[in-house]
Amino acid sequence: MFYFRSQMAQVPQSPHAPVIRARATAQNDPSRFDPYRREVLDDGWLDTVEVEAGAPIRTSVRNERARRILTKNQSPDIPFDRSINPYRGCEHACIYCFARPTHAYLDMSPGLDFETRLIARPNAAEQLARELSAPCYRPAPIAIGTNTDPYQPVERDRGIMRDILQVLNDFNHPVTITTKGALITRDIDILADMATRDLVNVGVSVTTLDPVLSRKMEPRAAAPARRIEVIGRLADAGIPTRVMIAPVIPALTDHELEQILATAVQAGATGANWIMLRLPREVAPLFQDWLNTHYPDRAGRVLGHIRDMHGGALYESAWGRRMQGQGAYAKLIGARFKRAFTALGLDQMSRPLRVHDFCVPPRVGDQLSLF
């Protein structure tokens, strides 16, 4: 038996690759930029039963010294123009994650590599302070968690996100955070302090309330009940918290939309939004394979709805259409969300984050002001 990569030797790449415990996919096809393609040849020396019973693949983390930490964007359909990613890759292993294709730029697979070969930026807080201190910098809310989750399991030991929050707190800089990780409750002390100055807004992503489904499609993220508990703990600490139903998966999770909203509001959520399933580039075949493995009876319906929303394709990248799709089904989901959103009192205007209190804190050796 020949394998795609030597370090993944326990995972044969084949149409019938085994399901790996605590991982969303066993596929590890090479990057789209790789000019070579590998095929598995079964030479009779490997017993697939032994593969299925083998030890789970462990996560490896490599450090990267960031030369810049603020990423700018000009997309007109997202409400922020700058973001931070403390990590590349995400151990939560959500099969639907639209960020998977970014691993191809690192010459790694958007499949299993994305879940198991992570890159951390330990100097993120130091670099952030440097960029915020630049004379030309003008403050606006920074979004964290828009690509990979800042509170994925590796953060427990690294603490990069907590260091970033401390810098933002020192600078009185506003931030929005998106996460599926219960680890965010570790930083309630900093977040609550920032909330008193209208500097933070947190979004907790809840895709389903079904723990069995959640474990299959987002195997290392916090369980649904735990995420609802996180909403409650953040809300009790005075931290503005919204529930993000992202993604809505047609014919798989769409029926839970109203229940998720009601449960989150009962826990303390004061805002909500939704995003339709997105399947860019390598995500589409990975998600299709996952569907055929775990829910073969629904695969046709799920993919059929997605194609109906994107003109027959599985994905459309056009601004204004990529997030929620078009057509009757997309309009139906939007109408259902709006009705529940209003009925639950979530249509009240939330307080905007403050940018006018931004101030570069004094450093050791700085000259004192005369005024």
Say if 348 falls within a structural domain.
no
Say if 146 falls within a structural domain.
yes
Measured between alpha carbons, how far is 126 from 142 in angstroms, rounded to an integer? 16
Say if 366 falls within a structural domain.
no
Confidence (pTM): 0.88
For the chain, how big is the Rg over CA atoms in Å? Answer: 22
CA distances from 40 to 2, 8, 283, 330 (A): 5, 13, 22, 40
Say if 280 falls within a structural domain.
yes
Say if 166 falls within a structural domain.
yes
Measured between alpha carbons, how far is 142 from 177 in angstroms, rounded to an integer? 9
CATH code where residue 277 lies: 3.80.30.30
Residues of the chain with pLDDT under 70: 1-18, 36-56, 349, 364-371
Number of domains in the chain: 1
* Strands lying side by side in the sheet with 87-88: 60-63, 117-120, 87-88
Q: Which domain holds residue 86?
A: 6-343
Residue-wise pLDDT tens digits, 339-361: 999 999 998 767 899 999 999 99
Say if 186 falls within a structural domain.
yes
Measured between alpha carbons, how far is 325 from 318 in angstroms, rounded to an integer? 10
Residue-wise pLDDT tens digits, 115-174: 999 999 999 999 999 999 999 999 999 999 999 999 999 999 999 999 999 999 999 999
Say if 140 falls within a structural domain.
yes
Say if 357 falls within a structural domain.
no
